[in-house]
C-alpha cells in the first residue's frame, strides 16, 4: 500500500457510525456477533430479474459503476460475483480535483462513494449486475444514507457508461417500482456522463483484508452472505481482488 491507513473510525463518519462500531465490538465480545449477522442477512430481498437487458453487450469486458453507501461493502459483494474480474472502490459524480476521501467526506463535492465493476458480459449481464445491486448490495429506498452512513456521498446512484446501460437501468427501476418490491419508493439516481476515480489504496479489498473489523462484521459480511444465499449460481468463493488484477496487468 502506498498510503498509511488513517484512524480506523473513518473521519467522514457521523455519530451513528461510531455507535455501530461500538455495538459490533460489544456483540463480538458477548459472542452475539454471528446472531447479529444472521438477523441483518434477512434484510436482502428476492426481486425479479430485469425484463430489459442489453441487446448487444460489447465484446470483451464491460464496466458498471454503482454507488450504494460505503464502498467497502459494495466492493466486497461484487468481488464474490461470478464473471467479475475486478471491483474497484472509488468516487463518481464530482470533479477529479476533489476525488479524495477526506474531501468527499464533507458531502460537498458531488461525489458518491462508488465501485467500478469490471465483468464478462458472456458470464453475467449488466441487468443481472443491477439485480444484485438492488437485491443485496444496498437499500435503494434510502435517500442520501445507508445504514449508519449519512450524506450525499452515500447516495444510491448508477453511473451508466453508455446510453444502453442508462436505458436498462431506467427500465429496471420502473419495473421494480411497478412491482412494489420494496416498501418505499426507489430513490436511486441515474447520473450520466460522470467520470470514475479510484479511491486510495487503503480502501481497496478492505472487506477481504479486514473481515473482523466491527463495521465490516455488522454491516457488510451479511451482504456477502446474502449474495451466496440468494444468488448461489453467481456466487464465487475466491474474491476478485484489486491487488491481483493490478499484478496481472
> Which residues does the annotation mark as catalytic?
70
CA atoms within 13 A of residue 134's CA, in its CB half-sphere? 28
Q: Which three cell numbers stand for residue 195?
A: 467520470
Burial class, 180, CB count within 10 angstroms (exposed 0-12 / middle 13-18 / buried 19+): exposed
**SS3 label, residue 230:** helix
- Residue among 226, 215, 206, 222 at smallest CA distance from 72: 206
- Which residue(s) pair with 91 in the sheet? 113, 197
Which triple of cell numbers denotes residue 38?
A: 444472521
Q: What is the DSSP letter of 133?
A: I
CA angle (172 as vertex; 167, 175 as ends), nearest 5: 125
The candidate with the shortest Cα–Cα distance to 117, out of 154, 92, 147, is 92
Q: What is the C-alpha to C-alpha distance for residues 191 and 194, in angstroms, rounded to an integer?
A: 7
Within 8 A by CB and 6+ apart from 92, the residues are 65, 67, 111, 112, 114, 157, 159, 191, 194, 195, 196, 197
Amino acid at each position: 500500500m502506498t498510503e498509511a491507513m488513517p484512524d480506523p473510525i473513518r473521519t467522514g463518519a457521523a455519530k451513528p457510525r461510531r455507535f455501530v462500531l461500538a455495538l459490533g465490538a460489544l456483540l463480538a465480545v458477548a459472542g452475539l456477533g454471528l446472531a447479529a449477522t444472521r438477523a441483518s442477512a434477512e434484510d436482502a430481498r428476492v426481486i425479479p430479474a430485469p425484463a430489459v437487458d442489453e441487446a448487444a453487450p460489447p465484446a470483451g469486458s464491460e464496466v458498471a459503476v454503482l454507488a450504494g453507501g460505503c464502498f467497502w461493502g459494495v466492493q466486497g459483494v461484487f468481488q464474490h460475483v461470478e464473471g467479475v474480474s475486478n471491483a474497484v472502490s472509488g468516487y463518481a459524480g464530482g470533479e477529479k480535483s476533489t476525488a479524495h476521501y477526506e474531501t468527499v467526506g464533507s458531502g460537498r463535492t458531488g461525489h458518491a462513494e462508488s465501485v467500478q465493476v469490471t465483468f464478462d458480459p458472456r458470464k453475467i449481464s449488466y441487468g443481472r449486475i443491477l439485480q444484485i445491486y438492488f437485491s443485496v448490495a444496498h437499500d435503494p429506498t434510502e435517500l442520501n444514507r445507508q445504514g449508519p452512513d449519512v450524506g450525499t456521498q452515500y447516495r444510491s446512484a448508477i453511473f451508466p457508461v453508455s446510453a444502453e446501460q442508462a436505458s436498462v437501468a431506467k427500465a429496471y427501476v420502473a419495473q421494480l417500482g411497478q412491482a412494489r418490491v420494496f416498501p418505499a419508493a426507489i430513490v436511486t439516481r441515474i447520473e450520466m456522463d460522470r467520470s470514475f476515480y479510484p479511491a486510495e489504496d487503503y480502501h481497496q479489498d478492505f472487506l477481504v483484508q479486514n473481515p473482523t473489523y466491527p463495521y465490516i462484521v455488522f454491516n457488510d459480511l451479511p451482504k456477502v452472505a446474502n449474495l451466496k444465499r440468494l444468488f448461489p449460481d453467481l456466487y464465487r468463493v475466491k474474491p476478485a481482488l484489486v491487488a491481483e488484477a493490478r499484478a496481472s496487468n
